[in-house]
Structure 1
Amino acid sequence: MPATPPPIGSYVTSWRPAPVTEEDPLNPGPVGAVSALLDLSDPVAGAGNPLPPLWQWFYFLHWPAQHELGADGHLRDARFLPPIPDRQRMFAGGRCEISEPLRLGEPTERVSSLSAVTPKQGRTGELLFITERQEFRQSGRLCLVEEQDIVYRSGRGPAGAHPTALDDQATATAEDPWRLSLQPDPTLLFRFSALTANAHRIHYDAPYCRDTEGYPGLVVHGPLLALLMLELVRRNAPERRVRTLSYRLRRPVFAGERILADGAAADGRAELRIATHREARHATAEVTFACRQD
């Protein structure tokens, strides 16, 4: 009888990587590229303008050497990748607190650190939740604090449902006034991967998705779903400044499916979600706005 593998948590008992400090000039180029990806007629911001919430994801990019990538397209070894065997990675959600918006074209410092390491038991087996914290500063001022939750599991298997998914179902409400529709195809997923330096094969290699990861087709990026929800705010409440936001990715969306982002705002906050014909809540988000006088 084969030996039982040790629990995932045992691999990270003494794993405490040190923080990393990086700098980026926040040039306008990526903003123009993302605006084109979203079929906007003009870039959403120019030098000196506020960067939309979550658009910091298009900066501080890393392009490792090809030989440093693993079979799934991710780095085999990096500072905040947990040292567990045969890692399968899923983006679960995150949070942002924005004291003041980052300004495009201003030199920016980012300090990344490991905030939490939490082993859990999920429906697909043992999981490891990693929370990475990022602090962004301009001219010495702390402007934005972001936390991202990444889920890892050891081994391969069917992954058609997100291991953190809830079983609750919501029904669409006709009174939701904010709506945005998108039907991402492989070309859009390819371009988004390029803009975020993301070589994960689940977004462009259909045979790998089906045969290795257990998905029925190409997976739409979790960050793209979060950005679409925040795009509702940017388009429908451009005068309101986002103070905090949180989002959770519940179930995957696949290329070719029509996505509906919808939501509404009231009492200084907004509730947002992503739906398809299969599910009412693939992803959800909550935004709070700064006071008018801030």
Structure 2
Amino acid sequence: MTTRLDIDPDNVDEICNKIKNIIGSTPRALTVAIYNNKGGIGKTTTTINIAAALSLFKKKVLVVDFDPNQQDLSKILKIKPAQQPFCDYLQNYKKSKIENTISSYRLKFRNVEHPIGFDVIPADKGFLEISPIQLGRIINPGELHRFLSQIKNQYDYILIDTPPNFRFFSQSALYAADVVLIPTKHNDLASLENAAVTIKRYIPQIGDERRKKYKPEAANTTALPIFFNGGNLNDAAQNRANKAIKNIIDQAKQAKPGCDLLPYFYPKFTQATKNTDIFTLPNSAHIPNATFTHKPAVYTHINVRDFYKQLVAEYFLQ
């Protein structure tokens, strides 16, 4: 388990560099949960295109579709079912092989010798055949963490696509993750408010569970700074978003003295610069349209490729 890294305005650059150094100096994958309790903000397309962008940097990536209700990631990519369904594996892991739960997504490109892509653990409808109460009894939220720990040395990155709620599947993803990437939209107040709830409530709650069931010294998952997922901001829109974020930050401080959300919303802010820049993925019709081709937009459109290369460079690559 990683050492706890607490972010504040004075050390945000240092913490980001530490995360990047950890990634570059260890054979263990960085496990990333892509999460926001708000639906409709593009978590799945973000997960797919981050995986594709990382593969272009020759990184070995595993994607976990851990949303069996919607199964959007598996459907978009037309992932073939794995030899062993994931739910069955988690219940019978002592007599099962991990590799039987993993499918491969690869595309052949002109003038490229080898196919490019990533591995996927497909969504499994088997989870839906078990009632939520019974599911928690059969498979505890730490099982995904245990499973991924066994294959971390086979990948550079493990990305978990999560459902928009805080129940078994999203809790398991946060439990298993080293870091949480939180997409938001500048014009969706709920997505910004839910990002704050994730940072100040859900992550500490899961951290407590880790310490009870795993190790007393186990760390909380580290929340990465938010980003705007799809948006062409004019000055008026930027001002509205900044006003909403200021209210969220102020309310958090009032509710719990010492709770400082500023570096999670404005990672480049200092008292000297007052920099309130937030990384933004611009709108692109190619991203949703790519779902009809069953290919990540990163693989088929240069501008989308550039957007996501910037994102992975900002958050993950040295």
Q: TM-score range by the shorter chain?
A: under 0.3
Higher relative contact order (CA 8 A, sep 6+): 2
Q: Which has the higher strand share?
A: 1
TM-score under structure 2 length normalisation? 0.22
TM-score under structure 1 length normalisation? 0.23
Q: Which has the higher helix share?
A: 2
